[in-house]
């Protein structure tokens, strides 16, 4: 700390002069946060002052929040003053951007059964198999390459594996290529970056996955919502919309859609491709859930059905293995994938390579397949538990009957509002996501999403039982409120 | 395969009718890629046809690329026809977006000494320490939590560690928060997403890191380049620019800037903060290289000097540990970090958790610190080798003299053009990145970047020796071309 000599002749007392010099140095940044001030005794000796003078100066500095004393360690410059000394008006800088509505805050209460997140159960994670896959990667001769800067296209052995597999399954057309991303969410983000300009419109399902809605809205896209029925998107509605709008692209979750759980039948897939082809826009097939079919026959994917190379297929490891490892991919025509690669490089250079290598090992060793079987078994039990509990405890509601995936769409009997009911449900011990978080333009106040895959059959049954009780009691109180009015008519 | 009965009375031969039915089913998607056709014998029996009729039909299908025969397996529907049957015009869909210029393609030749990528040497990676860190994470009781879906803010134990560390270093102001990203590149991307609208201008260094230039240009930003001298950004130039422009923010690499290797002195840091504060825009301090100081005294970071909370600090693990693990962070005022969290969630949900957990273990176990010492030792040797080789072999050039980092900026003697010289240099066995890839508006045809950190001192010396030879011979041929002309005057 460099200090000018104090002036004993000044009208300002010495402690005040000392305080002002130090405060000035802190405010102008010559003394920086975290810096330790000399001990009072030391500084007094250095400046030829009485120690109490130095103590008095330090005391004002501390009162003003410029320094902080720590017992046995001395006094340190703080950052406490930042707010008071002006600076950037962050609220002003950020003001022009609107935030998406927050999804319901997690209740801190551990006793609440949470049908809230569309994710697998971590109790099913095959930890020993995961450890074995890591061990294999850590033992490899090319470990240093995995830890080095990688390619925006992805870790080449995994990329090659996925592309070969897609070819083997008849998913990849001759002119197709594949890029690895941090999961389907990033694939959607990169596609938006490459294809969208503010004001462009995009066709999506209504209701639709919140992450997609927020992403596209954040990019300034106009969302054209196509109502989802028991068999997925209402194609007649879509064709009517296409007479008025020229969307840039369409995003569809062909299997076990989030939030409704519905699947587009094969015929509707062909019709959708035909409509998209005639209108001249690409189809983004977001297939995060396709591998989670618990019963029934799968329909061919849109990518497979599309002979005109207008479809991009998005898949991911996260729903069938470990969501904490962010690895997915996009398969589509080379010119698009090349653009996605540029967008990926600008976005975050490349996807984490350790996880890519571990997941490749997890697949190639057959461990994913074994895990997949257990996940399907568990998923079937959970889905069955959810549907039978709905039948038993929600006799007045309606719900979708998916053959796989993680989500169920429930419509409460009118006039109940799922958002209004939620606080009450949480107090009783069950949480869900009200339908309004997923809606584009179709209002369904009674709808809610139940994400069942992360809960045990017993939890699912108990949760829906509680929900049924909450619904009954809400309906009764609605009837009570309504009856006197009716009696007066 | 459902087929209509063939018509023996038709003018079209039977094999042709059969071919047309199958081709039609493939083109309309009723038969999908990968699907196996019945064996000729089987289909002949089914349709009451001669087997040669079926073979003839299959042969045309194969000639047209609609099916492919595999010995011993049968015939399968292919995707070869996609391009020929029309479809989305991807070039049209993608046309309106311009691509950034590609950086020089890697030469396939292993003998070329490549000063091309600003990354650490993988030969220095402490693989056993990395394995030990992984093992510790794999043995933890909360492993399943790490593998489960995480928070957009980052893996909380790592986030907490980094924030505490930033507080301890006096980097974090009272109202600050921290978000984990996939490295500095993603931090910059998220900041751009939150703060920028097309047409906004941003102040950057000139020359500047290509990844930043491409990112901001791709977002539609106008880049205001401030020339970088031996002491970093030319602040007088910046203040003149600020009289004409109102930038949204400024990005500065305070330490060992990429590409020049220069560092902003403490006084210039204060002046820069003052100028930014007066003009009312935030400063983004991109500090990927700050931990790589091989000698000399560090200046306090802008974040630390800024008492007005107008600075966001970006750091990352990738330059000091393993670039293949994509983990960095942004430290700044809470309202901004909150917005970055939303952008992060829309972008890719969250950063890979396995790598976050492993890096936390790598830090907390003290292994990063030990590795850091070795990296500094090796870096010092490499930097010294680069500077002494420049003195010895490039007597007519000029170069920056950084005290750390990974990059050196070399200016070849006039009138040499580094981009024109590159193919020749590559043939001789050395590669670099010409300055034009980094330029904003200041043309420096003779400039080039040498990224030395990934090469051994011997490679560095040999590479610069080759470069010196290439430069000498190019100058001689320039002089030869010029001299006859002069003789004629």
What is the phi/psi pair of residue A224, to 5°?
Answer: -100, 105
Q: Tokens for A383? A: 């889905």
Sequence ranges of chain B with CATH classification 3.40.640.10: 126-365
Cβ–Cβ contact B355 with A under 8 A: yes
Cβ–Cβ contact A9 with B under 8 A: no
List the beta bridge partners of residue B252: B285
C-beta atoms of B189 and A348 within 8 A: yes
Q: Name the fold adopted by B113-121+369-474.
A: 3.90.1150
CA distance A480 to chain B (A): 43
Distance CA B166, CA B180 (A): 13
**pLDDT, position A188:** 98
Nearest CA in chain B to A100: B342
Q: Tokens for A162? A: 């996925």
Cβ–Cβ contact B145 with A under 8 A: yes
- Residue B455: which of B359, B369, B373, B389 has the closest Cα? B389
Q: Are B252 and B233 in contact (CB under 8 A)?
A: yes
Sequence ranges of chain A with CATH classification 3.40.640.10: 125-365
Write out chain B residues lying below 8 Å of A173, CB-based.
33, 79, 82
Mean of the pLDDT values across residues B214-224? 93
Q: What share of chain B is helix, strand, coil (3-state, %, to 5)?
A: 45, 15, 40
C-beta atoms of B326 and A349 within 8 A: yes
Please, is A24 exposed, middle or buried when counting C-beta atoms within 10 Å of its C-beta (0-12, 13-18, 19+)?
Answer: exposed
Residue B136 has pLDDT above 70, yes or no: yes
**pLDDT, position B105:** 55
Distance CA B302, CA B381 (A): 28
At the top level of CATH, the class of A14-85 is: mainly alpha
**pLDDT, position B44:** 85
Neighbouring CB atoms inside 10 A of B127's CB total: 13
C-beta atoms of B99 and A339 within 8 A: yes
**pLDDT, position A149:** 95
What is the phi/psi pair of residue B180, to 5°?
Answer: -95, 135
Distance CA B67, CA B60 (A): 9
CATH of domain B126-365: 3.40.640.10
CA distance A421 to chain B (A): 27
Write out chain A residues lying below 8 Å of B288, CB-based.
none
Write out chain B residues lying below 8 Å of A80, CB-based.
174
C-beta atoms of A122 and B100 within 8 A: no
Nearest CA in chain B to A78: B170
What is the phi/psi pair of residue B284, to 5°?
Answer: -100, 115
**pLDDT, position B197:** 82
CA distance A67 to chain B (A): 12
CB interface of B with A, residues 299-318, below 8 Å: 300, 304-310, 318
C-beta atoms of A343 and B218 within 8 A: yes
CA distance B477 to chain A (A): 38
Q: Over the stretch B72-113, which tens digit does the pLDDT of each residue have?
A: 667 878 764 444 345 777 777 775 455 555 555 555 556 899
- Residue A160: which of A401, A418, A307, A363 has the closest Cα? A363
Distance CA B449, CA B379 (A): 17
Q: Is the pLDDT higher at B487 or at A407?
A: A407
Q: Are B414 and B79 in contact (CB under 8 A)?
A: no
Write out chain B residues lying below 8 Å of A171, CB-based.
33-34
C-beta atoms of A211 and B310 within 8 A: no
CB interface of B with A, residues 196-215, below 8 Å: 197-198, 211, 214-215
Distance CA A300, CA A308 (A): 15
**pLDDT, position A24:** 81
Cβ–Cβ contact A281 with B under 8 A: yes
CA distance B268 to chain A (A): 12
**pLDDT, position A81:** 42
List the beta bridge partners of residue B447: B411
Sequence ranges of chain B with CATH classification 1.10.10.10: 14-85
Task: Number of A to B CB contacts under 8 A, please give it.
Answer: 325
Distance CA A115, CA A118 (A): 8
Distance CA A456, CA A304 (A): 35
Cβ–Cβ contact A264 with B under 8 A: no
Distance CA A312, CA A276 (A): 13
C-beta atoms of B335 and A181 within 8 A: no
Q: Are B71 and A342 in contact (CB under 8 A)?
A: no
C-beta atoms of B89 and A280 within 8 A: yes
Distance CA A419, CA A433 (A): 8
Cβ–Cβ contact B346 with A under 8 A: yes
- Residue B77: which of A183, A307, A178, A130 has the closest Cα? A307
Pairs from A108-114 (Cβ < 8 Å, separation ≥ 24): A109/A426, A109/A429, A111/A429, A112/A426, A112/A429, A112/A430, A112/A431, A113/A429, A113/A430, A113/A431, A113/A455, A113/A459, A113/A460, A113/A462, A113/A463, A113/A466, A114/A431, A114/A454, A114/A455
List the beta bridge partners of residue B226: B205
C-beta atoms of A308 and B87 within 8 A: yes
**pLDDT, position B486:** 46
**pLDDT, position B9:** 76
Q: Which of A464-468, B198-202, B320-324, B457-461 has the lowest mean pLDDT?
A: B198-202
C-beta atoms of A91 and B310 within 8 A: no
Question: Where on the phi/psi map is residue B40: left (φ > 0), alpha (ψ -120 to 50), or beta?
Answer: alpha
Residue B4 has pLDDT above 90, yes or no: no
Cβ–Cβ contact B286 with A under 8 A: no
Write out chain A residues lying below 8 Å of B66, CB-based.
none
Distance CA A204, CA A233 (A): 9
Distance CA B93, CA A282 (A): 9
- Residue B48: which of B6, B96, B89 has the closest Cα? B6
Cβ–Cβ contact A165 with B under 8 A: no
C-beta atoms of B309 and A87 within 8 A: yes
Nearest CA in chain B to A169: B34
Sequence ranges of chain A with CATH classification 3.90.1150.10: 113-121+369-488
List the beta bridge partners of residue B398: B411
Mean pLDDT of chain B: 89
Distance CA A23, CA B120 (A): 42
Ranges of beta strands (E only) in B137-272 are: 176-181, 201-206, 222-229, 232-233, 249-252
Q: Are B213 and B207 in contact (CB under 8 A)?
A: no
Asked casually if ipTM beats, i.e. exceeds, 0.90, the reply is: no
Pick the CATH number of A125-365 from 3.40.50.920, 3.40.640.10, 3.30.70.980, 3.30.559.10: 3.40.640.10
Q: Name the fold adopted by A113-121+369-488.
A: 3.90.1150
Q: Show the low-confidence residues of chain A (pLDDT under 50).
A: 80-85, 96, 484-489
CB interface of B with A, residues 235-254, below 8 Å: none
- Residue A352: which of A381, A374, A327 has the closest Cα? A327
**pLDDT, position B484:** 47
**pLDDT, position A79:** 62
Cβ–Cβ contact A346 with B under 8 A: yes
List the beta bridge partners of residue A274: none
Cβ–Cβ contact A285 with B under 8 A: no
**pLDDT, position A489:** 43
CB interface of B with A, residues 70-129, below 8 Å: 76-83, 85-91, 93-94, 96-97, 99-100, 117, 119, 122-123, 125, 127
Q: Are B65 and A335 in contact (CB under 8 A)?
A: no
Nearest CA in chain B to A84: B308
Distance CA A44, CA A401 (A): 80
CA distance A29 to chain B (A): 5
Residue B233 has pLDDT above 50, yes or no: yes
**pLDDT, position B30:** 75
C-beta atoms of A352 and B353 within 8 A: no
User: What does B430-479 look like in DSSP terms, one character per residue?
Assistant: EE-EEGGGG-SS---TTEEEEE-TTS-HHHHHHHHHHHHHHHHHHHHHHH
**pLDDT, position A53:** 86
Write out chain B residues lying below 8 Å of A176, CB-based.
79
Q: Over the stretch B151-192, which tens digit does the pLDDT of each residue have?
A: 999 999 999 999 999 999 999 998 899 999 999 999 999 999
Distance CA A4, CA B82 (A): 81
Sequence ranges of chain B with CATH classification 3.90.1150.10: 113-121+369-474
Q: Write the DSSP symbol of residue B4.
A: P
């Amino acid at each position: 700390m460099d200090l000018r000599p104090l002036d004993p002749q000044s009208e300002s007392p010495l402690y005040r002069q000392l305080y002002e010099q130090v405060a000035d140095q802190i405010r102008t940044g010559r003394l920086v946060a975290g810096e330790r001030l000399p001990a009072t005794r030391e500084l007094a000796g250095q400046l030829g002052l009485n120690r109490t003078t130095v103590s008095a100066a330090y005391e004002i500095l501390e009162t003003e929040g410029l320094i902080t004393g720590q017992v046995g360690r001395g006094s340190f410059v703080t950052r406490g003053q930042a707010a008071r000394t002006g600076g950037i008006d962050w609220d002003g800088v950020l003001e022009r951007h609107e935030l998406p509505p927050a999804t319901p805050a997690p209740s801190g209460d551990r006793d609440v059964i949470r049908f809230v997140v569309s994710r697998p159960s971590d109790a099913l994670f095959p930890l020993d198999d995961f450890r074995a896959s890591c061990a294999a990667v850590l033992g490899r001769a090319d470990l240093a390459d995995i830890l080095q800067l990688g390619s925006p296209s992805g870790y080449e052995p995994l990329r090659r594996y996925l592309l070969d597999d897609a070819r083997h399954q008849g998913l990849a057309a001759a002119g197709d290529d594949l890029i690895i991303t941090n999961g389907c969410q990033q694939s959607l983000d990169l596609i938006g970056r490459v294809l969208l300009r503010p004001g462009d419109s995009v066709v999506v399902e209504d209701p639709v996955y919140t992450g997609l809605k927020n992403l596209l809205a954040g990019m300034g896209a106009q969302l054209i919502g196509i109502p989802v029925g028991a068999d997925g998107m209402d194609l007649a509605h879509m064709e009517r919309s296409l007479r008025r709008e020229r969307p840039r692209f369409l995003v569809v979750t062909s299997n076990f859609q989030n939030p409704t759980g519905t699947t587009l039948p094969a015929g509707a897939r062909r019709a959708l491709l035909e409509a998209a082809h005639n209108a001249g826009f690409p189809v983004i097939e977001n297939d995060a859930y396709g591998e989670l079919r618990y019963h029934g026959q799968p329909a061919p994917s849109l990518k497979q059905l599309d002979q005109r190379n207008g479809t991009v297929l998005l898949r991911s490891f996260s729903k069938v293995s470990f969501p904490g490892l962010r690895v997915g991919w996009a398969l589509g025509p080379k010119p698009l994938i090349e653009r996605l690669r540029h967008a990926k490089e600008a976005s975050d250079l490349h996807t984490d390579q350790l996880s890519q290598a571990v997941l490749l090992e997890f697949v190639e060793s057959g461990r994913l397949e074994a895990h997949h079987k257990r996940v399907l078994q568990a998923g079937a039990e959970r889905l069955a538990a959810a549907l039978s509990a709905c039948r038993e405890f929600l006799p007045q509601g309606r719900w979708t009957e998916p053959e796989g995936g993680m989500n169920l769409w429930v419509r409460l009997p009118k006039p109940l509002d799922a958002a209004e009911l939620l606080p009450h449900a949480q107090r009783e011990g069950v949480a869900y996501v009200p339908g309004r978080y997923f809606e584009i333009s179709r209002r369904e106040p009674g709808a809610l999403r139940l994400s069942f895959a992360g809960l045990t059959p017993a939890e699912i049954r108990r949760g829906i039982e509680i929900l049924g009780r909450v619904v009954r009691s809400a309906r009764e109180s609605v009837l009570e409120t309504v009856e006197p009015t009716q009696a007066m008519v």
